[in-house]
Amino acid sequence: MSKTDIKLAGVGGQGILSIATIIGEAATAAGIQLKQAEVHGMSQRGGDVQSDLRLSDGPIHSDQIPLGGADLILSMEPMEALRYLPWLSADGVVVTSSRPLVNIPDYPAEAALLTELDALPRVVRLDIEEIARELQSPRSANMVLLGMAAPYLPLLSEEQLRAAVARVFARKGQEVVEANLRAFEAGLSHSLKTVSK
């Protein structure tokens, strides 16, 4: 049986739920089993948000990922990525934005966060907000992150994810679909370079 357990993390308003929706859409279309734990935390803008997303080609008995069981931590924010390290499996991967969203008074120093991330055996990090701005689509930073994660979602192909992005954003018009697909490709391109090192 093949499975991928994903811990999604971020801050309310960053688009973590859109990532979950697209992965869920791709999995459903591909006939893959899917369970998602309800989102925990404050989903309003600025509060921390996390959710478990489990994909499998066989039965899934629980919607929650056990400690040490996540294959992937997918985070819109570096401190949130570090917060959920106890859930990461020994050979798991962290895919995260490298740009802090300073939403609390005692937020750690950025350099310390990035040093801690870079000490992990398998991490892919990128300033996704900067990439999205360069693409003139600042709201698509979450799709940059999804593109970065694509190589670590073995049950879903890049093409299945692209198709899901197009379906999920279709009601917002072709321009929005294309902007989000460009962001996905930018993240994917960065991640593939990291993988091939």
What is the tally of structural domains in the chain? 1
127 exposure class (CB count in 10 Å sphere: 0-12, 13-18, 19+): middle
- Cβ contacts of 61 within 8 Å, gap of 6 or more: none
Residue 51 lies in a domain: yes
CATH code, domain with 166: 3.40.920.10
CA distance 59 to 145: 28
Q: CB-hemisphere CA count at 13 Å for 63? A: 8
Per-chain mean pLDDT for the chain: 90
Percent of the chain with pLDDT over 70: 91
* pTM (predicted TM-score): 0.91
Q: Could you report the per-residue pLDDT of 117-149, keeping only the tens digit for each?
A: 999 999 999 999 999 999 999 999 999 999 999
Name the most confidently modeled range: 38-52, 95-109, 161-175. Answer: 161-175
- Cβ contacts of 145 within 8 Å, gap of 6 or more: 19, 74, 75, 76, 95, 96, 97, 128, 187
Range of the domain at 181: 3-101+119-196
Q: Could you report the per-residue pLDDT of 29-62, keeping only the tens digit for each?
A: 999 999 998 666 554 555 678 889 999 999 998 9
Q: How many CB atoms lie within 10 A of CB 128?
A: 29
Residue 27's pLDDT band (cuts 50, 70, 90): very high
Residue 37 lies in a domain: yes
